[in-house]
Amino acid sequence: MLRCLFYIITALLLSSCAKPPLQELDAAEYMVGRAYAKQAAEFAPAEYQAAKTALNDARAAMRDSDYGDARDSLDFSLQHARRAVVLAEEAQAKRLKEEKEQVRIEEEVRLKALQERKQKAQVTEKKKPTPQPKKVVKTKPKIVPASAYVVGDGENLWTISAQPEVYGEGLLWPLLYQANRDQIKDPRQIFPGQSLSIRRDMTETDLEDARQRARESDIFPVPPSAETKQ
């Protein structure tokens, strides 16, 4: 009875070994292909190469109908391919983390440099002198002495003499009266439209004499400010 059982088990084992391990081959090829897609050749070269070599050995054994060796090689290939996938994923995750860290560091350096340039620009701006408003120098209009003057409404010899283009001093009205005796009979009476000649050949003595006559005359009251003018 035991002998019969032994023969049955042996026959089953032999029959199982006689079948090509196609499912195992598919599993190994899938896992090696996944390892390739995960760039295991770069990140886990030893494991990937071992899995690939074992897969090729299994294919060769299957061509020789050595299905037992083929199964062993496929099992070895599957284990190393899985290991290659794990190592590749870990290496890629590590590289991605390092790249993110590098980007973070570069961004910090860039922001720090930008802040330093901004602070430097602010310091430079503070050191610049504050532009002062330009002083507007008001220039007095140049007075051109007139040689004649046309009398306007309400004017008299004093106000005309005080005009800047005439003599610029009311006390000198006697000079106007003297230069225009041909048309002025009374210093109190001049008329709008009259053209008065303006004498320009006076000496300092002539000017002082005219002032003195104006002070002594009662024709035009002399204001106190004019009394002190020399």
Of 94 and 12, which is predicted with more confidence?
94
Residue 120 host element (H or E): helix 67-127
Backbone phi, psi, residue 197, to 5°: -80, 145
User: Which positions ≥6 away from 146 have C-beta within 8 Å?
Assistant: 165, 166, 198
Handedness of CA 198, 199, 202, 208 (dihedral sign): negative
pLDDT at 141: 74
26-61 pLDDT tens trace: 999 999 999 999 999 999 999 999 999 999 999 999
Residue 145, Ramachandran bin (φ over 0: left; ψ between -120 and 50: alpha; else beta): beta
Count of alpha carbons within 13 angstroms of residue 99, beta-carbon side: 6
pTM over the 0.85 mark: no
pLDDT at 25: 94
Strand boundaries in the chain, DSSP class E: 148-150, 195-197
The answer, yes or no, to whether residue 201 has pLDDT greater than 80, is: yes
101-146 pLDDT tens trace: 999 999 999 999 999 998 888 887 777 777 777 776 677 777 788 8
